[in-house]
Amino acid sequence: MTLVMGIVNVTPDSFSDGGRYLDAEAAIAQGLSLRAQGADILDVGGESTRPGAERVEPAVEQDRVLPVVRALAAAGSVVSIDTMNAATALAAVEAGARIVNDVSGGMADPGLLAAVAPTGADVILGHWRGPSADMYAKAEYGDVVAEVLGELARRMDAAAAAGIAPSRVILDPGIGFGKRGDQNWAALRGTRRLAGLGPRVLIGTSRKRFLAETLAAQSGGERAEVGEGRLDVGTAVTSVLAAQAGAWGVRVHDVASTVDALRVARAWEGEGRWTSPTRSP
């Protein structure tokens, strides 16, 4: 069964919910609420990776996320730490995180993979072509799927060289990261091929720009006019399609709508007709 990862942004500037949960107590309450709605994993981040975002000092990042990670883990939640910093990853695992979600795939901090290897934590390797401040500078592809698969395969090799077994690796094609418009749709259509590499696959489309562009174009409006409600519908639909293509997990802001959509899709197909190559988080 495809797992649902709920997003807990402890940031002032994330593209969708920046500032809502900057206070630790608010972030903890949000995480517990997402878990009650059906989230299998809570992904806690203290540094925005939205287009144009500037880097945050690891000390600031840790001040934001560690109390939240510690409290959610103590409450029995499976916690993932969304970070590109080795020091933050290690501190979060020590505080109870069981997964390190690095959108850069270990490229932003070359020491991250080696640092995480001895901890036993699972690692999400994202497809990345550069920092958020200049995210689209290298958004040029001949064959999006082939290039994303090739670059992620190299990140798997780097993880293995650092001592991280393939069984601990989760691959993320980085929807919205260094990809424009239809490039994201092409990458999504490659989900089944990505799953064929062997490791588990995580898909994150939640409220992203390409969904707003698609919905706005179909309704004749502007991207800015597409509200969260419509984006959450688009997220739920793409999450179901990702699950049908073999995704191990989907990463979302609005857990309830995606959990419901997955439940309905399973009922339509019949339980067990399509499940991802999953193991416990």
Q: What is the pLDDT of residue 125?
A: 98
Q: Are 26 and 32 in contact (CB under 8 A)?
A: no
Q: What is the pLDDT of residue 269?
A: 87
Q: What is the pLDDT of residue 279?
A: 43
DSSP string, 236-269: HHHHHHHHHTT-SEEEES-HHHHHHHHHHHHHHH
Question: Exactly one of 64, 129, 207, 251 is catalytic; which is it?
Answer: 251
Give the HSE-up count for residue 157: Cα atoms under 13 Å, Cβ half-sphere.
6
Question: Exactly one of 70, 208, 209, 266 is catalytic; which is it?
Answer: 208
Identify whether 208 is a catalytic site residue: yes
In angstroms, rounded to a whole number, what is the distance separating the alpha carbons of residues 272 and 54?
A: 43
Q: What is the pLDDT of residue 52?
A: 61
Q: Are 103 and 85 in contact (CB under 8 A)?
A: no
What are the pLDDT digits (tens) for 183-226? 999 999 999 999 999 999 999 999 999 999 999 876 656 655 77
Written as tens digits, the pLDDT of the chain (281 aa) is: 899 999 999 987 545 554 566 689 999 999 999 999 999 999 999 997 766 667 789 999 999 999 999 999 999 999 999 999 999 999 999 999 999 999 999 999 999 999 999 999 999 999 998 776 677 778 899 999 999 999 999 999 999 999 999 999 999 999 999 899 999 999 999 999 999 999 999 999 999 999 999 998 766 566 557 788 999 999 999 999 999 999 999 999 999 999 999 999 999 988 655 444 444 56
Q: What is the pLDDT of residue 13?
A: 54
Identify whether 50 is a catalytic site residue: no
* Contacts with 209 (C-beta within 8 Å, 6 or more apart), sequence order: 51, 176, 223
As beta bridge partners, residue 20 has none
The pTM (predicted TM-score) of the whole model is: 0.90
